Amino acid sequence: MSPPNTRKDRGAAPCTLVIFGAAGDLTRRKLVPSLYNLRSNGLIPNEFAVVGVARKELSTESWRESLSKDIREFATGKVDDAQWAWLRDRIHYSPGNFDDPATYRRLGELLADVSKKQSTGSSVLFYLSTPPDSFAPIVKGLGAAGLTKDADGSFRRVIIEKPFGRDLDSARSLNNDIRSVLREDQIYRIDHYLGKETVQNIMVLRFANGLFEPVWNRRYVDHVQITVAESVGVEGRGNYYETAGVLRDMVQNHMLQLLALIAMEPPVSFEADAVRDEKVKVLHAIRPMSPEEILVRAVRGQYGKGLVGDKGAPGYRTETNVSPTSATETFAALQLFVENWRWAGVPFYLRSGKRLPRRRTEIMIRFRMPPQLLFRDTAVGEIEPNRLVLHIQPEEGISIHLKAKQPGPTIVLNTVRLDFDYKTFGEPAAATGYERLLYDAMIGDSTLFHRSDMVEAAWKIATPILDVWRSLPPRDFPNYAAGTWGPASADALIQRDGHHWWNGDDDNGGAK
């Protein structure tokens, strides 16, 4: 379905943003600084207001004051006083418990008042920046108070934070709950990973260039590796992480989205549903693994103490709010297959972990060897295949690894790297990563948000793995030292197919 107003490089239409969970961490660290950046870039209209809702007893004035301090700490650049004053004067607060119907009545009254005073019209974007068990109660509360009805020419949309469910059943039940109140086109399930410039550029690389499409298939691609490596541990978020683990926190959502972007067919247009239709087909083409397959094609790990760089790092089980006998995985590696005509037989290896040697998100596409090795009788060692590497973070760019003849009288081949660094476009404006997503939700572009079928398709892949892991508690945790690339079983998973993990150029060429 076409959004009511579409992108034309213009500011959003008049609206009010209501943040549930306004006294929380995400609001002050990311959401308010993003709004400030959007306003600085001229993308927020004059007729705009923010209303915060949380149970903390604050007045509008005290919330404004506390955000005025926070913005100095969390803004991504120097704060312009006039620009901040503009936003500050449009910020309001309404205390209340999410379970209390009176909260929504008061909110309705405040919205009417704000709309009159700040000419915001009746369009409202609700942002659920709350613990996940509040998502359904809030949507129901809004519905019961009549706050989700959009009249002609205005919108009522709801952004829902992650995690969206913790397995297939809970995701289905959450979808049912919120869809009993909202139409699918009113729901914006956020994935901040998809707001990253370099992730958005995957589609541009593939579909704005004719060069890659002919080789983007099983005939030329040998395998694909997706790595999301973090050097940090749980950073004081032990409470949350103990209930999640890396499969839920990274793989089910962000990494399967990266895989879908790499493997999807060209959409018929860049309309949100055309793109999402193609992405969901990829997820449907990944057959959920049987328990026997999971034992062979899925690996989990948990870090013990070790060295990250030259700094000592504690083991996961000794982190704050983590059980000393925790079975939570901080590392996972999978071998997946997209069973369609384009990708049949091409393994996609996914790997993510905490306390790995470096922070690095990369997608490496390894091409097949040339059909015949013409150089085998020359002074040429082993020929490495071509690689295309998409660097997502912290490096942002694309590199192609080719063989070239080293200058000189004999034939000596070496690998050269053709590099594109996004910085050559000019230093990007400092951003929190939420600007694009907030702006898209304001203008009604849901391309970068998850649709209900995408979420459920991804849980269909992840849930059987979680089930097997739960029923077979790990006996070898911790099984990798902080500062290493994960357990030996992850190496075995890929070496079985004659490959190696690609750890980046600085790791000796890595993949074969």
Smallest distance from ligand NAP to CB 233, Å: 16
The answer to whether 126 contacts ligand NAP (rule: CB under 6 A) is no
Q: Which residue, 144 or 151, has its beta carbon nearer to ligand NAP?
A: 144
Q: Return the percent helix, strand and coil in the chain, to nearest 5.
A: 40, 20, 40
Interacting residues with ligand NAP between 137 and 176 (CB under 6 A): 161-162
* Token code pair at residue 450: 């998850």
Q: Which amino acid is at 367?
A: F
Q: What's the longest Cα–Cα distance across the chain?
A: 84
Smallest distance from ligand NAP to CB 75, Å: 16
Q: Which amino acid is at 18?
A: V
- Cα–Cα distance, 237 to 209 (Å, whole number): 42
The position carrying tokens 């549930």 is 20
The answer to whether 5 contacts ligand NAP (rule: CB under 6 A) is no
Do residues 15 and 121 make contact, with C-beta atoms less than 8 angstroms apart? yes
Which residues have C-beta within 8 Å of that of residue 76, sequence separation ≥ 6? 33, 37, 430, 431, 432
Stretch that binds ligand NAP, among 17-25, 75-83, 205-213, 395-403 (CB under 6 A): 17-25
Choice from 130, 330, 432, 452 touching ligand NAP (CB under 6 A): 130
Stretch that binds ligand NAP, among 52-60, 174-182, 273-281, 465-473 (CB under 6 A): 52-60
Q: Which of 261, 290, 281 is nearest to 348 (CA)?
A: 261
The answer to whether 131 contacts ligand NAP (rule: CB under 6 A) is yes
Q: Which residue, 31 or 334, has its beta carbon nearer to ligand NAP?
A: 31
Stretch that binds ligand NAP, among 50-58, 63-71, 436-444, 466-474 (CB under 6 A): 50-58
Query: How many residues form the binding site for ligand NAP (CB under 6 A)?
Result: 19
- Cα–Cα distance, 508 to 17 (Å, whole number): 49
Choice from 24, 108, 288, 385 touching ligand NAP (CB under 6 A): 24
Smallest distance from ligand NAP to CB 162, Å: 5
Q: Which residue, 14 or 245, has its beta carbon nearer to ligand NAP?
A: 245
Backbone φ, ψ for residue 40 (5° rounding): -60, -30
Stretch that binds ligand NAP, among 25-33, 112-120, 332-340, 435-443 (CB under 6 A): 25-33
Q: Which residues pair with 298 in a beta bridge?
A: 334
What's CA 51's distance to the chain center, in Å?
26
Smallest distance from ligand NAP to CB 178, Å: 14
The position carrying tokens 């009254």 is 109
Smallest distance from ligand NAP to CB 439, Å: 18
The answer to whether 56 contacts ligand NAP (rule: CB under 6 A) is yes
Q: Which amino acid is at 126?
A: F
Would you call the peptide bond into 4 cis, given omega within 30 degrees of 0 as the criterion?
no
Q: Which residue, 29 or 281, has its beta carbon nearer to ligand NAP?
A: 29
Smallest distance from ligand NAP to CB 149, Å: 23
* Token code pair at residue 108: 């309705």
CB-count burial class (<10 Å; 0-12, 13-18, 19+) for 511: buried
Choice from 54, 256, 356, 482 touching ligand NAP (CB under 6 A): 54
Smallest distance from ligand NAP to CB 239, Å: 10
HEC string of 390-437? EEEECCCEEEEEEEEECCCCCCCEEEEEEEEEHHHHCCCCCCCCCHHH
- Cα–Cα distance, 15 to 118 (Å, whole number): 10
Backbone φ, ψ for residue 55 (5° rounding): -80, -15
Choice from 16, 34, 40, 129 touching ligand NAP (CB under 6 A): 129
Q: Which residue, 39 or 254, has its beta carbon nearer to ligand NAP?
A: 254
Nearest residue to ligand NAP by CB is: 24
Do residues 306 and 479 make contact, with C-beta atoms less than 8 angstroms apart? no
The position carrying tokens 């079983």 is 489
Smallest distance from ligand NAP to CB 35, Å: 15
Instruction: Return the active site residues.
Output: 254
Q: Which residue, 115 or 432, has its beta carbon nearer to ligand NAP?
A: 432
- Cα–Cα distance, 19 to 50 (Å, whole number): 7
The answer to whether 55 contacts ligand NAP (rule: CB under 6 A) is yes
The answer to whether 434 contacts ligand NAP (rule: CB under 6 A) is no
Choice from 45, 108, 132, 143 touching ligand NAP (CB under 6 A): 132
Q: Which residue, 434 or 502, has its beta carbon nearer to ligand NAP?
A: 434
Smallest distance from ligand NAP to CB 80, Å: 25
Q: Which residue, 97 or 393, has its beta carbon nearer to ligand NAP?
A: 97
Stretch that binds ligand NAP, among 48-56, 207-215, 226-234, 382-390 (CB under 6 A): 48-56
The answer to whether 32 contacts ligand NAP (rule: CB under 6 A) is no
Helix axes 32-40, 60-74, angle to 10 degrees: 70
Backbone φ, ψ for residue 19 (5° rounding): -105, 115
Interacting residues with ligand NAP between 93 and 122 (CB under 6 A): 97-99
What's the Cα-to-Cα distance from 222 to each of 250, 287, 366, rounded to whole Å?
25, 20, 6
Smallest distance from ligand NAP to CB 131, Å: 5
Choice from 23, 147, 389, 462 touching ligand NAP (CB under 6 A): 23
Q: 21: which DSSP letter?
A: T
- Residues of this chain that bind ligand NAP (CB under 6 A): 21, 23-26, 29, 54-56, 97-99, 129-132, 134, 161-162
